Structure 1
Amino acid sequence: MACIKIVTNGQRNFLNAIEACNGLNLQFVRYRKPRFVPKAPTKIFKVREPTPRDTEETKLMRTWQAHYNTEMKSLHLYFKSHCQRIRERERIEAIKTPFEKRYVDICRKNEEWNKEAKMIRLGQWKEKEKWLEDRHLAVAEREEREREETREMAFQRVREAQESLDNYITEENLDEKLDEILGKEVDYDFALYLDGSKTTVPDSKTEDNPGSGSSPS
């Protein structure tokens, strides 16, 4: 019976390329030929014949395989039941064990766990105490520094006030300050240079005015 093989355009183009390269002696170094490679011309009409089998041998192999499967199943069930009996025996022995002995074991384990938890808790508490101590020291140092700065600022203000105490106007020196202020003449008739220095301006009254002369007759 003839076999019709349907391929796509891409596969047809690839097969055409392979047919065109027959002269290049292409070899596929894989254990199994890819599916897109066409069948070898020498094997197109080759039909594999079934391997001949001996009837007696086949019968013996089936018998031996059945015996093997039965033995493996029996061993599996035996080991499974044996493990179940061991677990059941341990459970019964645990139930038969006196309650006092189990209670002592439970208390011993509980004490061990308590000791471990205590060591962990003490370590954590020491770390926390150290952190709190460092934090308190830092806060105390900062507060002391702030108080010192505030005290220094207050002293500076007091010193400035003491230095300028003579310039204050009080009831005792009020008349003296008034006479000093009224008797002090301030002359604002000066000029400033770009560098900030002052220079007095000559009095316009005493300066000769070229335009003040008599007009010609």
Structure 2
Amino acid sequence: MKLLEDLNWRYATKRMNGELVPQAKLDNILEAIRLSASSMGFQPYNVIVVEDFETRKKIQPAAFNQPQIVEGSHLLIFAAWDPLCEEQVDNYIQNIASERGVGLDTLESFSQSIKNMIKSRTAEENFQWAARQAYIALGTGLVAASAERVDSTPMEGFNPAALDELLGLKEKGLRSVALLALGYRDENADYLAKAKKVRRSKESFFITVA
């Protein structure tokens, strides 16, 4: 299974060589992220694609100066919606109706169920739910990058408040939750580049309920 080969090949790359990811490969990774699983298909987050070096250089201090921010080709910022509101639901339902060629009345029950869920939670609970949806997409991005033989580094090690202020995300109704650097490994500088991949054994990892 090629996917298993891809996953064995990938690792959280520590140093990158500055080589640009070809546009076709980047497009495939982004499309995989767009098609990622999401609860109710709602996708309550955005992905900000940062290629500009100077912008990434400004972001780097907020990410504790991790080198992949500037050594990589692109930086993806997964930002959850905050707050969630009925207008977002209406836009989503309208998109379904348009894409599937169905009447809005046929989606009323579905629409109301999403709105009721949002109303039943606090703003912070809604944000945490939206953030978990973004993490699903992050995982899809990691797998897609490995399939394209593009190196990647998922990052939680950054200051979300500082990054949000730098990019004006609050004004856009967004809060950053995770980063994904894309690029190509620097095998001479990265001590993990040739290290054996280590994961728990399947015997200790899986619990079977018969």
Larger RCO (CA within 8 A; separation ≥ 6): 2
**Larger strand proportion, structure 1 or 2?**
2
TM-score by length of 1: 0.14
More helix by share: 1
TM-score, normalised relative to structure 2:
0.14
